[in-house]
Amino acid sequence: MPYVKTTARSRKGSAPAANKKSSKKSSGNGSSSFCGRHVMLGFLLLIVLFGVATLLLNLHVSTDRAKNLDRIQAILMDSFSNGVSTLTSASGIKDKAEEIAQQEQESGHQLAGLNCDAYGGPSPETAQEMVYWEDVHSDARHISPFKRTHGPKQYLTFEPDQGGWNNIRMSMETVLAMAYAMGRTLVLPPEQVFYLLGKHKGNAGDSQRREFSFNHFFHMESIHNEHPGLDIITMKEFLQREAMTGNLRDQQGNVVFPPRNQTDWDGKPRQPLFEFLRATGHMAIWTPEKCMAAFPTSPDPQETQKLWDIKKQVEQEHGGSFPSYEAYVGKPFPVNATAKQRMMENWAGRKTLCLYDNTLQNTQLIHFPSDHKLGARLLVHFYAFLFFEDWKQDLFMKRFVRDHVRYVDLIQCAAARVVEAVRERARTNPVVAGNNPNGDFDAFHIRRGDFQYTVTRFDAPKIYDMSKSKLHEGETIYIATDERDKAFFQPLRDKYDIVFLDDFHDVLGEDVNSNFFGMVDQLVASRSRTFFGCWFSTFTGYINRLRGYHSTHDKAPGYEKGIHNSWYYALEDRYDHLQTYYPVKQSYYAREFPTSWRLIDTGIGELE
């Protein structure tokens, strides 16, 4: 089906981002200077590590293997494999792109729109095609019904997830959404541990940053500034403000102080701090596979009871358990359906509710551990886990993540330049003989590398067979991949005009940190006409979510059913799972679900 693209989409309320450059130059070096001035700039969301042993192993292995391989491919593989993260000290390296990003943050970056003038283009008209987010003013003012207007502040602390970048993104979305829903101040973990995407060398072969906070990828400071309903602070600030003033108590009600009265945990082992938080706060062991995190409409105890009653009622009506997800395949309830209907559709085989009940509503501190042994790991899409009694709150949260938790402009603009170049190539491809004015191109994400799901390891002839009926011989196809051996793709090259990110060195420019290339790949693939991805891959998953946001935004064919022109080359029996509405089901991470994008702009402004 044709994918309608308008090159200059008019966007309601999307003022170009502020580009006032601050003349302030950072001094010093590395992360500490980048993070120094503003509260938010320092908070590393970061994330954890398999330890020094893994570091050494990774570095060793990658130096060996990367030698004869194309650099960008090597970077992609390292950036997005699971578990490359590791503990390391600050590198002290700062690049030009970071300076721009810092200036942007300091001058009050706005999340709406996209303006790439400061990043080397493309033009505003061309950049607009990356924009799937909206600037919904009434949303920005939303405040959780649980947020206290007086009395002691309430907090949410958490232990960051371990794993690859896309898993970290998933769990970050979840804690942001929970803090917002609970009206709690989100306390970021100490910044000493950096998520290491892993590459020292940039596009130009020079040294670059390789340790990151969430702030490098998402506009955390703007998220904080633009939402009166969401506060984000550092662990240090939290400990100074609440722990050292004697406001924290253990389960027996005794005032407790952090280990050694230490408030600055940056750069230090965090386990003692986490143990302190586990013992002090209400430790919430919410297992997404077993329970649905449920939020009543208001603090009124009757609302809490209503949710338990709904659950009981459904079970009574269906022989003791919820209907299987299969009952809703291709048959979603309206997004504004009753709480009961939506709970049934989103149940995903769980057993119970993790209800944000009156007891939890009254606790000062809720702490989310991350611990396999406790069954505590938030490896779930926020929307697959959080349930709101009020459908308007549910859709608000989906919009909040779409509109605000997005890759920074630096990354969006780099991708926009690549998309422009791929479209040009597709437009002038002799095979289409001038019949492709929009420069439509198709895309794959082919996940290989160290992927643990070996059942998805198809060779290229099989990938060709799986996808050929949707593609046209000779046309231009963009492949996002972590496969370093380009010979692997020869069978596809024999049929199509294949391009990779490393064919666009020049448009990517030398200012873009190569650790961002995986994210650029995702954004480029999200703009393709037809897309083929890999089941189980959270990298593919996010591309499909982005495509869902775009299709909703463009009202592209199928959008009312949550369907877009995307397929799986693996696994075979999942080939067309994106062509039918699927409700959330386990394993959540294996794919993304239409409920995160379908008709989520319904009811804007109706939230009081």
By the criterion CB under 6 A, which residues form the site for ligand NAG? 257, 261, 334, 336
Residue 237 Cβ, how far from ligand NAG at the closest point, in Å? 17
Q: Which is nearer to ligand NAG, 255 or 327 (CB)?
A: 255
Residue 92 Cβ, how far from ligand NAG at the closest point, in Å? 33
Q: Return all residues near 443 (Cβ < 8 A) that are at least 6 apart.
A: 477, 478, 479, 480, 524, 525, 528, 530, 531, 532
List the one residue out of 595, 607, 599 whose CA is nearest residue 342.
595
Measured CA distances, 480 to 178, 323, 341, 404, 525 (Å): 32, 38, 38, 25, 7
Q: Which is nearer to ligand NAG, 138 or 428 (CB)?
A: 138
Measured CA distances, 73 to 67, 81, 271 (Å): 12, 12, 36
Residue type, 565: N
Residue 343 Cβ, how far from ligand NAG at the closest point, in Å? 15
Residues 116 and 402 sit within 8 Å (Cβ to Cβ): no
Residues 206 and 199 sit within 8 Å (Cβ to Cβ): no
3-state secondary structure of 431: helix
Q: Which is nearer to ligand NAG, 51 or 269 (CB)?
A: 269
C-alpha span between 93 and 263 (Å, rounded): 27
Q: How many CB atoms lie within 10 A of CB 312?
A: 10
Q: Phi and psi of 341, rounded to 5°? A: -65, -45
Beta-bridged to residue 386, according to DSSP, are 293
The answer for 205, left when phi > 0, alpha when psi is -120 to 50, beta otherwise, is left
Q: Which is nearer to ligand NAG, 127 or 243 (CB)?
A: 243
Residue 226 Cβ, how far from ligand NAG at the closest point, in Å? 28
Q: Which is nearer to ligand NAG, 336 or 438 (CB)?
A: 336
Residue type, 275: E
C-alpha span between 11 and 18 (Å, rounded): 16
Residue 547 Cβ, how far from ligand NAG at the closest point, in Å? 25
Residue 567 Cβ, how far from ligand NAG at the closest point, in Å? 30
Residue 403 Cβ, how far from ligand NAG at the closest point, in Å? 21
The structure tokens 């970077």 sit at: 75
Residue 577 Cβ, how far from ligand NAG at the closest point, in Å? 27
Residue 389 Cβ, how far from ligand NAG at the closest point, in Å? 13
Residues 197 and 520 sit within 8 Å (Cβ to Cβ): no
Residue 452 Cβ, how far from ligand NAG at the closest point, in Å? 42
Sheet holding 282-283, edge to edge: 232-234, 185-188, 155-158, 365-368, 282-283
Residue 211 Cβ, how far from ligand NAG at the closest point, in Å? 32
Residue 320 Cβ, how far from ligand NAG at the closest point, in Å? 28
Q: Which is nearer to ligand NAG, 207 or 336 (CB)?
A: 336
Tokens coding 200: 């020292």
Q: Which is nearer to ligand NAG, 68 or 261 (CB)?
A: 261
Q: Which is nearer to ligand NAG, 334 or 375 (CB)?
A: 334
Q: Which is nearer to ligand NAG, 336 or 364 (CB)?
A: 336
Q: Phi and psi of 385, rounded to 5°? A: -105, -50
Residues 314 and 322 sit within 8 Å (Cβ to Cβ): yes
Q: Phi and psi of 437, rounded to 5°? A: -60, -30
Q: Which is nearer to ligand NAG, 192 or 336 (CB)?
A: 336
Interior angle at CA 258, CA 257 and CA 262, nearest 5: 120
Residue 152 Cβ, how far from ligand NAG at the closest point, in Å? 18
Q: Which is nearer to ligand NAG, 335 or 414 (CB)?
A: 335
Give DSSP secondary structure letters for 332-345.
Answer: PPPTT--HHHHHHH
Residue type, 231: D
Q: Which is nearer to ligand NAG, 257 or 453 (CB)?
A: 257
Residue 315 Cβ, how far from ligand NAG at the closest point, in Å? 23
C-alpha span between 253 and 460 (Å, rounded): 63
Q: Which is nearer to ligand NAG, 330 or 334 (CB)?
A: 334
The secondary structure of 247-311, three-state, reads CCECCCCCECCCHHHCCCCCCCCCHHHHHHHHHHCEECCCCCCCEEEEECCCCCHHHHHHHHHHH
C-alpha span between 496 and 138 (Å, rounded): 47
Q: How many CB atoms lie within 10 A of CB 468?
A: 13
